[in-house]
Structure 1
Amino acid sequence: MENEVIEMVDIVDEHDVVISTVSRHEMRQNRLRHRAVFIAVMDGAGRLLVHRRSPHKDVWPGWCDIAVGGVVSAGESYLAAAIRELNEEVGIQDVSVEPLDGGICQTYEDDQVALMGRCFIVQAQSPLTFNDGEVAEAWWVHRDGLDELIRREKVLPDSLALLLPLLDF
């Protein structure tokens, strides 16, 4: 029998102070407030990367997302999580990951998730690779294309609430 790695997640209070550490499964099952990162990936033409999530994701499967990112692992910094997620989801390495939020955590809660989020931005310098199975498809959009996408598709509400207001493109 193969040993499965259990992903551990820090649970935080409304001030982003760690109050416990639980498995990702327990965090999702009980909708516990955790840390997450949202990264806008831009190209040299000023377009934003948008992707459709895998149908196997534990939250909002098959929905579109304007952010690369995800859950911050237990003991991991927001910046380290952003760097890890960029590499895992789209193959971006060795780029400058810049904060978009002035270092301030933002709160997001709905009936699916409760989180404290940090937002970052990167410029894609090389072709993207989608090796971890979390991205079903991806494409680049200008602002008008993003507005149209939001009108016609289901787009992750946490990314729209936290990241979109910080983007200027």
Structure 2
Amino acid sequence: MHEEWMVEVDDRDQPLGRVLRSTFPFGEKIHRTTFIFVLSDDNQLCVQTRATSKGYCPGLRDLAAGGVVDWQESYLSCAQRELAEELGLEGKLTLLGKFLHKSQGNYSFGVAYGCRHNGPVNPQDDEVTSFEWLALDELLQSPGPAFTPDSLDAFHRFKGFLPYL
């Protein structure tokens, strides 16, 4: 069995040490995450529905690809890896910013990126059950499952920058 290691950080995002992901107290201790907003040239955002097998927010919609930063992995490397794993995409990532998020089950520093993509999306079945392209100005009113609290937080913080990617 493959063991995943991640980094625990303090409230200034300074590393405290490595921790097995399976034993990490999510929502209590701080870890690092990434968010990648994928936007088409006509300003439609790729919104994913998380697999029901996911430990965090199963079956909810994600406004961004992304995930937990592995031990000794940079935010950028994690963002590139997660974009490829979740949506089968590679692309130039634009840094949007960094923020501290806290909600039930998630206490993390997040770094948000954006990219433009107009071609096909190839979601990984064990990560994403479906995806849809939604207009930036209408997506929060779209019917369907709720959005994950962390991707919604990131979206509210950086939505003003997305049309300028």
TM-score scaled to structure 1, two decimals?
A: 0.88
Query: Does the C-alpha gap of structure 1 residues 75 and 62 become closer, same or farther in structure 2, counting only changes over 3 Å?
Result: same
Counterpart CA distance in 2 for 1:117 and 1:30 is 14
Q: CA deviation at 1:43?
A: 1.0
Runs of at least 4 residues off by over 4 Å: none
- Pairing partner for 1:43 from 40, 45, 48: 40
Aligned-pair distance for 1:87? 0.4
State the Cα distance separating 1:63 from its structure 2 match.
0.4
Partners of 1:152 and 1:136 lie apart in 2 by 13
Per-residue deviation at 1:111? 2.2
3-state SS of 2:121 partner: coil
Please report how far the alpha carbon of residue 134 of structure 1 lies from its aligned counterpart in structure 2 after TM superposition.
0.4
Deviates more, 1:131-140 or 1:47-56: 131-140
Cα distance in 2 for partners of 1:73, 1:44 equals 31
Partner residue in 2 for 1:100:
96
SS in 1 for 2:24: helix
Structure 1 residue aligned with 2:14: 17
RMSD after superposition: 1.7
Q: Deviations over 1:29-50 (max 9, x none)?
A: 6742100001100012210010
User: What does residue 65 of structure 2 align with?
Assistant: 68
| 2:125 counterpart of 1:138 | no
SS of 1:69 mapped into structure 2: coil
Deviations 1:103-153 (A, max 9, x none): xx311112211101100001114311013520011000002431213x763
What is the alpha-carbon distance in structure 1 between the residues aligned to residue 57 and residue 127 of structure 2? Answer: 12
Structure-1 separation of matches of 2:18 and 2:106 = 16
Matched, 1:58 2:55: yes
Counterpart CA distance in 2 for 1:8 and 1:38 is 19
Structure 1 unaligned blocks of 5 or more:
none
Q: 2 CA distance for matches of 1:82 and 1:132?
A: 19
What is the distance in 2 between the residues matched to 1:31 and 1:78?
21
Moved more, 76-85 or 27-36: 27-36
